[in-house]
């Protein structure tokens, strides 16, 4: 059975890579959003006991990254420069080099 840590590890590096590609114009807004939806769908496939376990270390940071990507990966936000400003920090958080402020801790997807 997959643990929460294993789940995050499975997607963390690919997510960093896709964000970098997105910032370079290699991934579309829709594809970026769709990939986060795919991660959420995979989350829902985990057994209940895993999804209901106490939060793993840095898990809230992972979900904050997912929700930030979903909120900002759009044509409108690209035009206002928010992804270009925020996504480098998201990549650093996913790489474990920085943390979002405590008040930004994201929750798990709801059922």
| pLDDT tens, residue by residue, 5-38 | 999 999 999 999 999 999 999 999 999 999 999 9
Nearest to 72 by CA among 60, 89, 57: 89
> CB under 8 Å to 20, separation ≥6 — which residues?
91
Full-model pTM: 0.92
Q: In the block, which residue shows the tokens 């690919």? A: 14
Q: How far is CA 78 from the centre of its chain?
A: 18
Hey, how many other C-beta atoms are within 10 angstroms of the C-beta on 53?
Answer: 13
CA distances to 29, 51, 95, 103 from 32, rounded to whole Å, are 5, 24, 18, 25
């Amino acid at each position: 059975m997959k643990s929460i840590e294993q789940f995050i590890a499975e997607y963390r590096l690919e997510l960093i890579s896709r964000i970098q590609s997105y910032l370079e114009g290699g991934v579309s807004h829709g594809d970026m959003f769709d990939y986060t939806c795919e991660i959420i769908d995979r989350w829902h496939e985990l057994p209940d006991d895993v999804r209901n376990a106490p939060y793993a270390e840095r898990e809230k940071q992972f979900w904050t990254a997912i929700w930030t990507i979903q909120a900002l990966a759009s044509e409108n936000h690209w035009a206002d420069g928010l992804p270009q400003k925020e996504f480098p920090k998201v990549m650093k958080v996913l790489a474990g080099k920085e943390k979002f402020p405590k008040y930004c801790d994201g929750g798990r997807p709801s059922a």
